[in-house]
Amino acid sequence: MIKYQIFKTLSTLNKALLPKLYKKTDLANLTKTEMLIAGWKRWVTFRFIDAKDARENQKRQNQ
């Protein structure tokens, strides 16, 4: 449960503070900093989804 809250908070902070890269059509032309940001956002997003799924599975098992 705490893992879900941590990644939810990180995801919210990413949306608010980090630049959006969706306008970049060719990922091969990203700078090193932009690659780092894209990788960080992807890592946080995947961990958030995993934590959310685990939380939902736990709720289903408790019912």
Residue 63 confidence class, pLDDT cut points 50, 70, 90: confident
- The reported pLDDT for the residue numbered 36 is 94
Q: What crossing angle do the helices spanning 32-62 and 2-17 adopt, rounded to 10°?
A: 150
Report CA 29 to chain centroid distance, whole Å.
Answer: 22
Closest among 57, 22, 53 to 37, alpha carbons compared: 22
List alpha helices for the chain, DSSP H: 2-17, 32-62
Max CA pair span of the chain: 49
Amino acid at the residue 18? L
- The reported pLDDT for the residue numbered 23 is 82
pLDDT in tens, 22-58: 887 788 889 999 999 999 999 999 999 999 999 999 9
* Residue 62 vs residue 57, higher pLDDT: 57
- The reported pLDDT for the residue numbered 18 is 92
